[in-house]
Structure 1
């Protein structure tokens, strides 16, 4: 049955075949409403490993190293950290909503532009580190506006990034299934193009106009309230333009000390949020959340990245190879032991319910 196919534990870490690990499950709640908080950034041991919460506020961590510290961060909440004495196999964390009051002193837009220019100047030092290899987990779901699930696919593998060419990614395994007639048609025609959109998460190669020296003149930049991200004080700067471009508006979160970009959010049309993890003085991809509105359904992608060594003996995938036949080659059984070696974003309740009730 399809129900039995999808409920397999999926854990993820840089060293994929180790059997010795610490395993933590947890939930992050709003302290006022007691509801789960989605998309909370969870950092292990000051950036050794990162993950995010699902739409119910749940997260899973599997680490090959002792977990000594967890740090929780979200734009709408005050950050919180817990140390080893507070960490258990099941963690329940509550975050305080952050005050959204506007500053009394409004800083002129030209100063906000200056901060962005300094961030651009420092991209090479902060974000251009080659070669960069990531282990990744990505989930792509297709559903209607009333949250009826059509199709879901998940992939684990490794990416090799650079600033000149498109990233190469090697698949370790994929799994996918449909839950409606529409989803069945999607599966028949499915290609891994959604997976290759991870190319555009690469800040080094895809430096959009609003963070490009020569092309950002048409943008205006304004300060929002300052914010603390992972223990670092940051500027929060909104950008917008009247020019005809895909990147018309969004938010940049920029470190006050080294001008690294912690987060960039695109808010015009499709929603895209890319997070970066500061570790050992450099910034690495940590997660992406992308919502794309199609004519008859919504496509949503979640990706977790963790920096690690390049893996040998992987079949690196060419974009030209991503045909439906090639996709099915990587579509394996959902219930084999392989998946138990990986960490992932837990399935939220609304998806679990539909999987359980689908014949």
Structure 2
């Protein structure tokens, strides 16, 4: 008997909760082109877990829970729009304005090992290698050891170039033994930066 009463109460609560929720349908269009905006996110501001995503035509169906007051629409290419639930219900079609903010030009550069080392040397003072070497690298890392080695080297005053292989190879060989001779090309020389030449005088 007790189980039957519990079942009846549960069904009643479930039925009641169903009546507390409704379904909202609509369409999201571009204010500029009048075309549907796919993949728009439509969600309840107070309950973000209640969310819908528009289809290719910009159409959506959103479940509205009890207590919902505001609905927000967002899309990466359009301005976010927030409306009260009552305003939303009055409009079968919602128009979004394009986001005027655009990403700046992106330049992708390819660095060879030689050019990358030149960049490191060029930006030596910005990286504060000499003042904060242990703050920039994990203690005992290859980078720290390589930097400390580079800083402590006594470079002959008549030397204008030095081979990258002689600088890097002693450290890498401790961690990897499968580097072949082609990796250490003899012609891979890096010109000494001006600040080193000046310090040698």
State TM-score, norm by structure 2: 0.40
Please give the TM-score of this superposition, normalised by the length of structure 1: 0.23
Whose Rg is larger?
2
